A and B are shown apart, each in its own frame.
Chain A
Amino acid sequence: GAVVSQHPSWVICKSGTSVKIECRSLDFQATTMFWYRQFPKQSLMLMATSNEGSKATYEQGVEKDKFLINHASLTLSTLTVTSAHPEDSSFYICSARAPTFDEQYFGPGTRLTVT
């Protein structure tokens, strides 16, 4: 099956700093990637959709200036959490799909802790 990786798997950063999370499709070209956030014991909430070479589309209520998404190639999308605050601490999961796929393939997630 298709494989999606995320890096790092966990990160701790100080309040006010920025942190970048990478999402890679390892064995297919992902025309579309998605970013989700999951708080403890809650479901996944879609944050944004990114298409290769174009600007990301953010869901209502998600601050685009705070969560910068770049989908610069067909195998890589990045999410940068800028000026992180403790309330940004969460589990961030990406997924990717190709036009020939019925489904999205999910990465293993990145746990962000902001102190």
Chain B
Amino acid sequence: SQQGEEDPQALSIQEGENATMNCSYKTSINNLQWYRQNSGRGLVHLILIRSNEREKHSGRLRVTLDTSKKSSSLLITASRAADTASYFCATETGTYKYIFGTGTRLKVLA
């Protein structure tokens, strides 16, 4: 069964705005990762955050992790039309297996 639930399921914003998507999970994790997937394509790794980290940045991306609430958020600042994609969180619980969240479909309007 899927571990992660993401919200919103879909998000539509204007170019230049920020986009925030959230991921909640059920059990303790070693790390959590965020991926982007363009329609019909493979996964692009965005960022990995370990269970002992609270926040990480990479370019226009900011990821937070709250292990007490079992949740993570991905913030994309100053969004661009090219950011239009589906975004997935994936949790790794120590068995090296990834459990993916339900995903957020982001549409950035030019």
Spell out A's residues near B (CB within 8 Å): 32, 34, 36, 41-46, 49, 91, 93, 95, 97, 102-109, 111
Measured in the bound complex, the distance between the Cα atoms of B88 and A37 in whole Å is 14
B48 touches which of A102, A105, A109, A111 (Cβ 8 Å): A102
Within 8 A of A (CB), among B62-110: 88, 90, 96-103, 105
Instruction: Indicate whether B42 reaches chain A with its CB closer than 8 angstroms.
Output: yes
User: How distant is the Cα of A43 from the Cα of B2 in the complex, in angstroms?
Assistant: 9
Q: Which residue of B lies closest to A104 (CB)?
A: B98
Contact A108-B41, Cβ < 8 Å, known A32-B96, A102-B31: yes
| Known pairs A43-B2, A43-B88, A44-B88; A107 contacts B98 (CB<8 A) | no
Instruction: Determine the chain B residues whose CB is within 8 A of the CB of A97 once the complex forms.
Output: 96
Subset of 25 A-B contacts with CB under 8 Å? A34-B97, A36-B100, A42-B102, A42-B103, A43-B100, A43-B102, A43-B103, A44-B43, A44-B88, A44-B90, A46-B98, A46-B99, A46-B100, A91-B40, A93-B42, A95-B98, A103-B31, A103-B45, A103-B48, A104-B98, A106-B42, A106-B45, A108-B41, A108-B42, A109-B42
Beyond A102-B31, A103-B48, A106-B45, 17 additional contacts (C-beta under 8 Å) are A41-B105, A43-B2, A43-B102, A43-B103, A44-B43, A44-B100, A45-B100, A46-B97, A46-B99, A93-B42, A93-B43, A104-B96, A104-B98, A105-B45, A108-B41, A108-B42, A109-B41
User: In chain B, what residue has the closest Cβ to A95?
Assistant: B98
> What chain A residues lie within 8 Å of B102 (beta carbons)?
42-43
Q: Decide if the interface of chain B is mainly helix, strand, loop or mixed.
A: strand
A-B contact count (CB 8 A): 49
Cβ of B33 under 8 Å from chain A: yes
**CB <8 Å contact, B42 and A107:** yes
- A49 contacts B42, C-beta separation under 8 Å: no
- Please indicate the chain B residues that have their CB under 8 angstroms from the CB of A41 in the complex: 105
**A34 and B98 within 8 A (CB):** yes
Which residues from B are CB-within-8-Å of A102? 31, 48
- Specify which chain A residues have a CB less than 8 angstroms from the CB of B96 in the assembled complex: 32, 49, 97, 104
